[in-house]
């Protein structure tokens, strides 16, 4: 079954993101649609996130 997941990871400590013409921001939450949740989990773990909850089923 194909699908997507809307994810909003909380960043603690905040991460500085360069939004181009809008300028940099210190982000505490990033909202993202994810088409392949296992890839998101792997990327977060590779970035050093200690706890990645499993994706919700259903």
pTM over 0.75: no
- In tens, the pLDDT along 21-33 reads 988 989 898 887 8
Going by pLDDT thresholds of 50, 70 and 90, the confidence category of residue 50 is low
Cβ distance 8 to 29 under 8 Å? yes
- In tens, the pLDDT along 31-46 reads 878 887 777 777 777 7
CA distance 56 to 50: 18
pLDDT of residue 15 exceeding 80, the answer is yes
Cβ distance 57 to 3 under 8 Å? no
């Amino acid at each position: 079954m194909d699908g997507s997941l809307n994810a909003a990871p909380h960043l603690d400590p905040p991460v500085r993101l360069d939004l181009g013409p809008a300028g940099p921001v210190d982000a505490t939450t990033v909202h993202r649609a994810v088409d392949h949740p296992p890839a998101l989990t792997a990327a977060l773990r590779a970035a050093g996130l200690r706890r990645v909850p499993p994706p919700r089923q259903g």
